[in-house]
Amino acid sequence: MKLRIRSARGISIILTLVLLIQGYLPDAQAPSMGFSVAANPTAVTVQIDTPAYSTINVTSVNGFTGTVTLTNSTTPATGIACTLSPTLINLTSTTTSSTSTLTCTGSIGGAYTVTVHGMSGSLGNSASVTYDITDFNIGASPTSLNTDVNSTGNSTITLTKQTGFTGTIALTSSTTPTNQRFSGP
């Protein structure tokens, strides 16, 4: 819809803006319907061969109803296996939000990004979760020391490899407060 007022250009511009704000012009876009996909947590640290979980929340946006199909992809493509349950989310006028569980198990240590894709017809959205798969454990015994001035205390540091780990581990240390000293083999 276009209005032409020849006597005053300023009035033409004002009328066009008022009509656009009120939504009377066919060029004004109505809010789009769809759905959102979110993950919680978005970052997980876990040991090799141990399942880790993230909740995937699918929520209707602006009254969307329909079935959302969930799939996942990983980067890098190997070293972690993931499943979603359920893979179909049905959003209705009364069920405007629902969840799926993303379960991932890493077989090779490293950092992975898992992207969960939600599709319904031509509509799509996604969320990502980062997984840090550890290859070894480090522990200290005891985990804290109290010593007198000019005396020593000892703590044993233990490294335990996880499935499939081979390699060299470089150890460094730091103390708090910084005027303390540490020596190691």
CA angle 152, 158, 161 (to 5 degrees): 165
Q: How many CB atoms lie within 10 A of CB 72?
A: 19
Q: What is the rounded average pLDDT of the residues 152-179?
A: 76
pLDDT at 150: 80
Q: What is the mean pLDDT of the chain?
A: 81
Q: Please give the torsion angle defined by the CA atoms of residues 23, 25, 31 and 32, in that order, rounded to the nearest 10 degrees.
A: 160
The whole-angstrom separation of Cα 160 and Cα 138 is: 7
Q: Is the pLDDT of residue 180 over 90?
A: no
For the cut 80, the answer to whether the pLDDT of residue 6 exceeds it is no
- For position 165, what pLDDT does the model report? 65
Say how far apart CA 176 and CA 80 lie, in whole Å: 37
- Cα(65)–Cα(67) distance, integer angstroms: 7
Domains along the sequence of the chain with CATH: 1-30 (no CATH), 34-134 (2.60.40.2310)
Inform me whether the pLDDT recorded for 145 exceeds 50.
Answer: yes
Greatest CA separation found in the chain?
A: 95
Go through the chain and tell me how many residues it has. Answer: 185
One-letter amino acid of 153: G
